[in-house]
């Protein structure tokens, strides 16, 4: 049986919300809130399904660190991320 190497761009939205929830150890409702306030905006498939890219997952890992280790709330995280993007 041949082995196939699949290369997926870090920008390609391939992860469903339930998988991302497990990967970043965040409840689905938190991921929805982060989407609502614009911190991580996954691609939409239809009206309900969200698909996250590897870049989104990495950003969510950082968001999780800020929330859990640094105790920053969602609006504080948005300010931090906006400030970091401006640098």
The count of structural domains within the chain is 1
In a domain, 7, yes or no: no
Q: What is the pLDDT of residue 86?
A: 86
Question: SS3 letters for the chain?
Answer: CCCCCCCCCCCCCCEEHHHHHHHHCCCHHHHHHHHHCCCCCCEEECCCEEEECHHHHHHHHHHHHHHHCCCCCHHHHHHHHHHHHHC
Other CB atoms within a 10 A radius of the CB of residue 65 amount to: 13
Mean of all residue pLDDT scores within the chain: 94
Taking alpha carbons only, the member of 46, 2, 40 closest to residue 24 is: 40
Q: pLDDT grade, residue 63 (50/70/90)?
A: very high
Question: In terms of residue numbers, what domain contains 43?
Answer: 15-86
Check which CATH number belongs to the domain holding 67 and give it.
Answer: 1.10.1660.10
pTM score, whole prediction: 0.89
């Amino acid at each position: 049986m041949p082995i196939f190497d699949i290369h997926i761009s870090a920008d390609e939205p391939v992860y469903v919300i339930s998988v991302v929830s497990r990967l970043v150890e965040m409840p689905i409702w938190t991921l929805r809130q982060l989407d609502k306030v614009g911190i991580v905006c996954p691609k939409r498939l239809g009206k309900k399904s969200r698909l996250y890219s590897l870049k989104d997952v990495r950003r969510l890992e950082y968001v999780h660190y800020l929330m859990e280790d640094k105790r920053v709330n969602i609006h504080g995280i948005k300010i931090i991320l906006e400030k970091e993007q401006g640098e």
